[in-house]
Amino acid sequence: MSPKPAEPETQAAPPDSGQKLTMTPEAAQVYYYLMLDEAARNNDLRAGGRAIGQLLQLDPGVPVFLDAARFYGLRKEITLARDIAKMGLEKFPDHFDLTVLLAETYLEENRIDEAVGILRDLITRNPESADARLHLGQVLLAHDRFAEAADLLAAPSAIRSGPLTRYYLSRAYINLKKFRDAERELKAAVKSNSDFVEAWAELAFLYEVMKDYVAAEKTYERIIELGQAGQEVWLRLIALNIKLNRPDKALSIAKNGPEETGFHLQAATAFMEEGFNEHARELLEPLADQNNPPAEVFFHLALIAFSVDKDFARAVDLLENIPEHSPLWAKSARFRAQLLYEVDRKDEALQIVTQGRTSDPGDREFWDMEVDMLASMQLFDEAHATLDEALARWSDDPELLFSKGSIYDLAGDKERAFQTMERVITIDPENPQALNYVGYTLADKGLNLERALVLIETALKQEPDKAYIVDSLAWVHYRLGNLEEAWEAINRCLSLGVEDPTIWEHYGDIAKAMGRKAEARKGYREALKMNPGNADEIKKKLQEK
């Protein structure tokens, strides 16, 4: 329960300190304001209440009611703040600031309609109050009541109040997609006040929404001419010229913009996002020569060296400039490890990811990368050891268990792989990869085909366009003797654009079972083009035709 406002004491005097002190009302007022200020600093609700009680007795003027309501409001004592505001309004009806404070107590409790009603009543009693109308308009905009805001702010009495009203009216129109109306109001606002930067910025944004990029560019340039443009305006102008495929002009703007490192870094990022890497490089290389440049500079330059120059060694060297304490270190370490792995410096790559998972064992990506690298290097025992450590940290994690099963499969231990995948399904019954693995294995062995079909169909519900799962569906139908369903599925699988010798072999087997000799030959020939591991077996099938 919230405490009630303290009752005023009978004498305007400080607490007894051993002798009686007499103060004038003016001195007492100063004393209790100091007491209220100290209570605010110490967040002392009780002392604040005592001070408020005395101040209301000494001088119950508007400032006291406002300060008291704000004291309670800032401490989320909404009922007390509301009571004080109501007390003030009884004495000073229609006072704008007190009415706003009362409305805010309802907004704090998300009682929007009551807050709006209070402000509407104030406007009804004071129809020429531009401040009341504008404040209500802001409240309506803040709560997405755009049509009401537009109706309120478009009234002639509101428009006469000046460019600020037109600015907020334009925002209501923009949200209502009345772009021409918004343009009219913003033009009127900046005509009335040519230094109104916010209105110019809103107008430039509006032109972008309307895809009038030439007008947007001119408007951004006007803001810069005013000399009040922040980095965001410069960046919008750069982005606009990039969008208009004028990267050279965008680069010129960037070079003439703010000199801050952060600005040049953001501008470079804008160029890279649109594929203008050479322009980004022109901004980034000077930053790299500065003292203690941001880690992002080296990371972006490494991306350019990798994607544009195909210079993996240079990319690695750049990434090595990112210190371990940087928030970007983990990302850069993973990137560096991938690059080293690509250039067959696998031991170095493995060392980096091992360092990463040791220094930050909570980062799952390092664990996954280490397992993948070990498995691809056919270091299966080491991969299992890493997975066992990970499973000790993330017990029965289905992704880790799936990796364990996959490594058993790679190592040729199909039985343990199957058992592990069954365990994954037990923990995660909708895991599409494990469902497919178990289903396909059963189908390939001709075992429990009805269960295999259910498992594969369940996997397809999760990933309906995964070609290898559609292939499994075709294969289980083939094993069940449902040749029409198998033929439909294998053709759908191929339509997904996957090139895999096993899929083409299945195509040939299904076609052969259906008596489609030409299609069977096509399937086997396509499979052989991909140098499958069982080429001799497929050649034998082809010769049988």
Q: What is the mean pLDDT of residues 469-479?
A: 96
Could you tell me the pTM of the whole model?
Answer: 0.67
Flag whether 494 is in a domain.
Answer: no
Measured between alpha carbons, how far is 169 from 160 in angstroms, rounded to an integer? 12
The arithmetic mean of pLDDT across residues 529-534, rounded, is 91
- Helical spans, DSSP H, in 360-397: 364-376, 380-393
- pLDDT at residue 331 greater than cutoff 50: yes
**Res. 9: pLDDT tops 60:** no
Question: What pLDDT was estimated at residue 544?
Answer: 79
Does the pLDDT value for residue 110 go beyond 90? yes
Residue 109: pLDDT above 50?
A: yes
- The answer to the question of residue 329 being in a domain is yes
pLDDT of 14 above 90:
no
Among residues 126, 150, 165, which one ends one of the domains?
126
Distance CA 192, CA 98 (A): 31
Over range 192-196, report the average pLDDT. 92
Is 540 within the bounds of a domain?
Answer: no
d(CA 93, CA 89): 5
Report phi then psi at 191, rounded to 5: -70, -40
Residue 11 in this model has a pLDDT that exceeds 50: no
Residues 53-105 pLDDT 10s:
999 998 889 999 999 999 999 999 999 999 999 999 999 999 999 999 999 99
- Give the integer Cα–Cα distance in Å for 402 and 242: 45
197-232 pLDDT tens trace: 999 999 999 999 999 999 999 999 998 988 877 888
| Rounded Cα distance, 104 and 96, in Å | 12
Question: Taking the alpha carbons of 168, 169, 175, 178 in that order, is the dihedral positive or negative?
Answer: negative
How high is the pLDDT of residue 100?
A: 95
Query: What is the C-alpha to C-alpha distance for residues 247 and 274, in angstroms, rounded to an integer?
Result: 10
Of 72, 91, 126, at which residue does a domain stop? 126
Contact 123, 129 (CB under 8 A): yes
Torsion of CA 483, 488, 490, 492, to 10 degrees: -170
Give tens-digit pLDDT for 249-300: 999 999 999 999 999 999 999 999 999 999 999 999 999 998 889 999 999 9
Query: Does residue 317 surpass a pLDDT of 70?
Result: yes
347-370 pLDDT, tens per residue?
999 999 999 999 999 999 999 999
Distance CA 415, CA 397 (A): 20
pLDDT at 31 over 70: yes
| Residue range(s) defining the domain that contains residue 392 | 323-428
- At residue 60, the pLDDT reads 87
Q: What pLDDT score does 28 carry?
A: 87
What separation in angstroms does the CA of 430 have from each of 422, 435, 459, 460, 462?
Answer: 12, 7, 7, 10, 7
Question: What is the helix (H) or strand (E) element at residue 448, kind and residue range?
Answer: none
- DSSP annotation of 15: P
Q: Give domain status of residue 54, yes or no.
A: yes
Residue 300: closest CA among 283, 313, 289: 283
Residue 19 has pLDDT above 80, yes or no: no
Asked if residue 442 belongs to a domain, the reply is no
- pLDDT at residue number 159: 67
Q: Is 423 within a domain?
A: yes
**What pLDDT was estimated at residue 69?**
93
The one-character DSSP state at 155 is S
Instruction: Give the end of a domain, one of 410, 428, 446.
Output: 428
- Share above pLDDT 70 across residues of the chain, in percent, rounded to a whole number: 95
For residue 189, being part of any structural domain is answered with: no
For residues 518 and 489, the answer to whether their CB atoms sit within 8 Å is: no
Q: Are 438 and 425 in contact (CB under 8 A)?
A: yes
120 has a pLDDT exceeding 80 = yes
Examine the pLDDT at 160 and tell me if it is beyond 90.
no
Give residue 229's pLDDT.
74
Confidence band for 162, pLDDT divided at 50, 70 and 90: confident
Note the pLDDT of residue 545.
Answer: 55
- The CATH number for 388's domain is 1.25.40.10
Phi–psi pair at 491, nearest 5 degrees: -70, -35
Is the pLDDT score of 20 beyond 60? no
Is residue 475 assigned to a domain? Answer: no
Q: Please state the rounded mean pLDDT for residues 324-341.
A: 93
Q: How many domains does the structure of the chain reveal?
A: 2
